[in-house]
Chains A and B, each alone.
Chain A
Amino acid sequence: MSSQLSSQLNKPATQTAGAEGYNFAYLDEQSKRMIRRAMLKAVAIPGYQVPFGGREMPLPHGWGTGGMQLTATVIGEADTLKVIDQGADDTTNAVSIRRFFAKTAGVATTEHTADASLIQTRHRIPERQLRNDQILIYQVPIPEPLRFIEPRETETRKMHALREYGAMQVKLYEDVARFGHIATSYDYPVMVNDRYMMDPSPIPKFDNPKMNQMPALQLFGAGFEKRIYAVPPYTRVVSLDFDDYPFEVQSWEESCSICGSDHSFLDEVIMDDAGNKMFVCSDTDYCRERVEQGFTAENPEGQQGLTPEHNQVQQENKKQDDTKAEEMAL
């Protein structure tokens, strides 16, 4: 389980790679050691929030400093980094964090989920199933799921320690009483390994089922609140619900206007002042991959003979060009 983490941890950091005058991946080695210790504890107690001495990053709090500190700590020279923000590789936050690590650690970056060994994310889990040799790092704004019902930190810690999670159900009760269904659509509380209640960060509840028994290691970093927590690979993650109002994910009547996908998380995009809109995949890499495989809005079943496996080879070739192109751009 932790073999992948420890293999990451044991990689010697070199001063040569990356930007002049900075340590490898920006953070100093002492801070990294401190964060690694917190991280190992987090992995050992799935879902438990481990406090750590959050460092200043060259970015305001709330822009992903928690996730960046984790990434800086686990990244090694051999890693390939992907950064997404709301599923997209090309948004400001994602681009700047990716460039930051390309510059300070000199690592390869990619937009392809399949090629990445480290994925830092804000508010989404990639549509493509992650593998055991990948690590998913979440940026977390508020790590405490019980905060809305209990403002005192001493009390919430006690509630976690004694497993008093009845109050969490009150939130869901209020939803059903007011809207007739569980209307919480993101930041949907989960129970990890049947023990700790965890805030999955503001991912849509659509992504909650992906966390359950995920082969990849999931790390969560809250920079402002200075907390680290983790879900080790193949861990049970259950979303809260009522017996008579079971957990359900969002669904759309539309499908993606670009790749025709009817099973991925869709963003609604307003096109003009007349109120015309389109729906597109929030995971831009997944959408691109499907288009390459021949899926289109007109042809959502895909071209005959072109299967994902068939396409793999083609992608392998393309990936190297892409990475090179990105490095050049930087």
Chain B
Amino acid sequence: MNAIQNVNGQPLKGGKDTSAERQAGKWQDDAPLLSVRDICKFYAPGKGCGDVSFDLYPGEVLGIVGESGSGKSTLLSTLSARLQPDSGQVIYNSAQFGELDLYACDEAERRVLMRSEWGIVHQHARDGLRMNVSAGANIGERLMAVGERHYGSIREKAEEWLTAVEIDTGRIDDRPSQFSGGMQQRLQIARNLVTHPKLIFMDEPTGGLDVSVQARLLDLLRNLVSQLGLSVIIVTHDLAVARLLAHRLMVMRRGEVVETGLTDQVLDDPQHPYTQLLVSSILQN
């Protein structure tokens, strides 16, 4: 893969080739995968997120941007069934259970979703990985959780996914603690994708990585997302990441969504003063 050249060689804007076609309304033919209605979760006035509503369609990548403390991660946690909201509904259209109201359904179903149809990529890889077992076991865990009991095929799939995320298969028996930050992050992605989830939640997946490693990871993510037709909700404070990956953007400030729209639209023609500030804060060269 000459991924790095692609990313470094081209301006970031040129990256989204199929998105134009998707933005033309292709998604709207399907039912939304995730419907969010008036979600509120406040720790204190102005701390948390409030009155968020949107629909996410299959194959769509939604970016949530905003400064630190604007409620992005809180929103992501409530969307991914990890944090009970104060009010509001999250409805997920599951292949196994049909339409599911996440906070009204059985916890058992929610946990099944988490290990089969969903993936969660944490900002810090050690939150999402088991650091004391090998890379192969990390990838295999989800398979075993959904009932795979054949060692040979678990290992085969682990090798496949290590290759897919560009980790040498010779490292399969090494522990993640012996991996570099970028490798840990890629391992975390492999671990999530092994059960072919439909929806991935990512919280700052490139946080703490240097630019060249970031570029490789982003390129990898973009390829995987388009190959597997994943829906993604990605939280980031890095507008370049959002521009590269997201089809649609939500800008958050002080717990509220101040602007939404197609990525290019929001970034090239920001309407809200805060978004204008955010966009103009990027170093121009």
Contacts and interface: CB of A to CB of B under 8 A. Distances in A.
A158 B152 CA distance: 30
A252 interface: no
B132 to A, nearest CB: 9
Contacts of A166: 115, 141-142, 144-147
A243 B152 CA distance: 9
A158 B150 CA distance: 26
Contacts of A176: 151
Interface string A152-188: 0000001000101011011001101110000000000
Interface of chain B: mostly helix, strand, loop or mixed: helix
B151 A242 contact: yes
Contact of A174 (B133, B145, B146): B133
Given A162-B108, A242-B150, A243-B149, A174 B134 contact: yes
Interface in B135-175: 136-137, 140-142, 144-147, 149-152, 154-155, 172-173
Contacts of A273: none
Contacts of B145: 164, 166-167
Interface residues of A, number: 18
A262 to B, nearest CB: 30
Interface of chain A: mostly helix, strand, loop or mixed: helix
A174 B137 contact: yes
Nearest to B155: A177
Contacts of B147: 166
Given A162-B108, A164-B111, A169 B134 contact: no
A68 to B, nearest CB: 34
9 contacts: A149-B130, A166-B115, A166-B141, A166-B144, A170-B137, A173-B154, A174-B137, A178-B134, A245-B151
Interface of B: 107-108, 111, 115, 130, 133-134, 136-137, 140-142, 144-147, 149-152, 154-155, 172-173
* The 6 nearest A-B residue pairs measured at CB: A166-B145, A169-B144, A242-B151, A166-B144, A243-B150, A173-B137
